[in-house]
Structure 1
Amino acid sequence: MDFTRRLRVQEVQERASVSPLELFFDLVFVFALTRVTDLMADDPSGVNVLHAMLVLGVLWWSWVGYSWLWNLVRADEGASRVVLFAAMGAVFVLALTIPEAFDDMSGGLDGPVIFALGYFVVRLLHLVMFFVLSADDPQLRGQVLRFAPSMAVGTVCLLVASQLTGPAQTAMWFAALAGDYLGTLVGGADWRLRSVSHFAERHGLIVIIALGESITSIGIGVAALPISWAIIVGSLLGLAVAALMWWAYFDVTSLAVERAFEAAGGTRLIRIAQHCYTYAHLPMVAGIVLMSLGLKKVLSYATDGNAHRLTDPLTGWPLVALLAGAALYLLALVYFKAYPTGSVSWPRVVTAALLLAAIPVLWHTPALVTLTALAAGLAAMTGYDTWRYAERRDRIRHGDHER
């Protein structure tokens, strides 16, 4: 076998599954998500929460482009493997630079500039690979060329932001993300998808990764401390919240959406991929990451060693992040299901509204009580859904789905 053949890519099959190498690629995003949570937890101010969400937006666009790319060609074959490892390196540099993405630390390289250049490399590798793959597909080649300016706009805005501070810097970050979103929106729907199951599975796994990071944020803070009832209760409540959020996505919703996705064709297929997966999954992941900040703070009370801390309320941005993060996740799930199926999950809309309304009510409530209320609310929603829609749930999970 000659060298040229070794570099040849292979197309993804229609019923393909996510490859182990793609899961390996996602490991750098596990690390990146922990860095985003730490960015908020070190100083949970409104500015830091906003900065963390902007960083998450950049990371998302660094990840999601490859979910489209590896749906066309196998990530673990030929030149694709080389591109994947190169992109992993660039994303890892991004993750390492997250604490300096806005404010450069003294000594070393210029953190904000390195972050912007890392983002440029990730996006450039993605576009170059797409450009090569579209050589025999003029329609796809045109789509890639229409999309390319958004990458340039994002990089330029981040480079400009690296030389600014304060509101002007934040505005340039918004401009960078707006360029990505608008570039995708106006670029059209001439992309290609070869495997609906692969695309859906890929995004389901990123939800699991985000939920796993929320569990990790609980465990890291208590692992080296003597076990106590407060740690046990707080940890199990946090795990229950993560499990209920998993249930909300994977029990029925992801299956219903995937079946509507499989039944679609042409432009409708690409629009579902864009709206339900590329767009809707970012607020889901953002909601989980915000919730992780609240969980981390609740467990810090339980591990403080001071019994009086157990009666201290969870206030400020950690409280907002905990409850609003869960609400954001639920509302994103509502849109995720409603766009392809036309069915609105009203119990989730109501639960999200109640969580937002509970923020001022729980402002002076002990942190563990607040976490208990969140777990109870999600459990009540899940129980109602399971009981009220039992027959529909059974059809989706075990029989013919609704036409």
Structure 2
Amino acid sequence: MKRLLPQWFVERIDPIRDEDDLRVSTLELFFDLVFVFIIAQFTWVIAHDPLHGFLQTVAMLGFIWWMYAGYSWLTNVIPPVRPARRVLILCAMAGWLIVGLAVPAAFEEGSVWIGIGMLVVVVVHGLMYLQATTAFVPIFIANLAAVAAVFAAQFVPVEPWRYVMWALAAAIVWSVPFFHSQRGLSLHPAHIVERHGLVVLVALGESVVAIAVATRGLDIDADLLIAAVLGLVIASCLWWSLFVHELPRAEHALTASTDSVQRVRKVLKGLSYSFVPVLLGILVLAAGVEHAVGHATSPLELDGSLLLSGGVALFLLGTAGLRASMPLPRPLARVAFAAAVLALTPLGLMNAGVQLAAIAVVLVAGLALERRAAAAERKPTPER
């Protein structure tokens, strides 16, 4: 196949070996800051209308996360080490900024800005890949088709059809790996795991920001301080549940996988797919914290209570998907863990602070039990 782009635009891409030291660049960290803004916008949408906001976030997050994760794959294969690549990454940031600004109005008829933002994101992503290979053309076409579905969502007159068009956009891009061969695609395990982890880390920051939002303008007293600290304890437990053991084990599992196709599929299932409930859980939890921390001594409405427990449960289910995909030990333990947290929802109907405390206790106890089980597995069996 002839090259589709001018010769001056083409760059040779040298494969990166597992033993090469490929670190996340400061540009990639800067790039993640725009995702913080998108996360904050999604949190606002959920917090101000829990039911419709949650449904709209679910509809949009599938496509938006897929393309954002796509940039993690991109910089893994084509590191932004040259000026032209850096400029293109910065152009993509402008597209993501437009997306973030347009999120609150994305389901209003005639609002085209989120489609324009996604078009910029997809085009820059495609151009960077096409610098190196024309094998990306079918994926690029699929991504453009998904953008067309987003544009169509802005002009259908009935709101349910907007959900359908966003779901279609997600289905198009999510189905690409099932029809496009992963053979010949090499990934650097340490970098791809670190990039996905950093996105979750900046998203977790939103649950801390939610504490500030919830307490703004309120007088500081013991009840408020205790509720705020409990919110931080919950966020800390979620960090612990993913970053202390799961991501290092995932990196080890990917490094140990010598089959490049199997490695790519593990990343797809364990990081790209499984991190959807992880990120959605953080968004939902942050919205729940906004409801709960400022009213710690009062009962919550059912939606506020569901946001708290449901957000944590979604996060834990995502980590169960990570464990099952790599594979790592005890994925079903995380499912049981999530069910236990979800069962605490009725407590919020009595008192928000009680639900916060109960979730924190269950998370700490669950992590302690997991640590004990892992230690027992490592303990050598005495010889008879």
Which of the residues 316, 319, 324 maps onto 1:333?
319
Distance in 2 (alpha carbons) for counterparts of 1:284 and 1:299:
22
Task: After TM superposition, give the deviation of residue 118 of structure 1 in Å.
Answer: 1.0
Which residue matches 1:368? 353
Residues 2-27 of structure 1 deviation map (CA, whole Å, 9 limit, x = unaligned):
xx999967755632110011000000
Which residue matches 1:161? 153
Distance in 1 (alpha carbons) for counterparts of 2:210 and 2:179:
38
Which of the residues 48, 52, 61 maps onto 1:47?
52
Question: 1:287–1:327: 8 Å Cα contact kept in structure 2?
Answer: yes
Distance in 2 (alpha carbons) for counterparts of 1:79 and 1:393:
49
Which of the residues 267, 274, 282 maps onto 2:268?
274
Question: Post-superposition, which runs of at least 4 consecutive aligned residues in structure 1 deviate over 4 A?
Answer: 4-13, 391-395
Mapped pair 1:319 → 2:311:
no
Paired amino acid for 2:124? L
Residues 260-290 of structure 1 deviation map (CA, whole Å, 9 limit, x = unaligned):
1101122111111111111111211111111
Unaligned runs of 5+ in 2: 1-6
Mapped pair 1:17 → 2:14:
no
Distance 1:121 1:191, change over 3 A: farther
Question: 1:67–1:202: 8 Å Cα contact kept in structure 2?
Answer: yes
Distance in 2 (alpha carbons) for counterparts of 1:150 and 1:121:
15
Secondary structure at the residue paired with 1:341?
A: coil
Residues 146-187 of structure 1 deviation map (CA, whole Å, 9 limit, x = unaligned):
322321221111111101232111111111111111123322
Which runs of structure 2 are paired with 1:182-193 in the superposition (5 Å)? 182-190=175-183, 192-193=185-186
Task: After TM superposition, give the deviation of residue 200 of structure 1 in Å.
Answer: 0.7
Secondary structure at the residue paired with 1:193?
A: coil
Which residue matches 2:4? none
Which residue matches 2:292? 298
Distance 1:329 1:100, change over 3 A: same
Distance 1:373 1:17, change over 3 A: same
Q: Output the TM-score relative to the length of structure 2.
A: 0.90
Which residue matches 1:137? none
Residues 111-140 of structure 1 deviation map (CA, whole Å, 9 limit, x = unaligned):
x31111210110111012111111xxxxxx
Which residue matches 1:87? 92
Which runs of structure 2 are paired with 1:107-186 in the superposition (5 Å)? 110=110, 112-134=111-133, 141-142=134-135, 144-164=136-156, 165-186=158-179
Distance in 1 (alpha carbons) for counterparts of 2:224 and 2:145:
47
Question: 2:305–2:349: 8 Å Cα contact kept in structure 1?
Answer: no
Unaligned runs of 5+ in 1: 105-109, 135-140, 303-309, 396-403
Distance in 2 (alpha carbons) for counterparts of 1:358 and 1:200:
32
Which residue matches 2:215? 222
Distance 1:315 1:187, change over 3 A: farther
Distance in 1 (alpha carbons) for counterparts of 2:221 and 2:81:
46
Task: After TM superposition, give the deviation of residue 386 of structure 1 in Å.
Answer: 1.4
Task: After TM superposition, give the deviation of residue 339 of structure 1 in Å.
Answer: 1.7
Question: 1:9–1:77: 8 Å Cα contact kept in structure 2?
Answer: no
Distance in 2 (alpha carbons) for counterparts of 1:205 and 1:54:
23
Question: 2:313–2:341: 8 Å Cα contact kept in structure 1?
Answer: yes
Task: After TM superposition, give the deviation of residue 357 of structure 1 in Å.
Answer: 3.1
Between 1:239-248 and 1:223-232, the stretch displaced more is 223-232
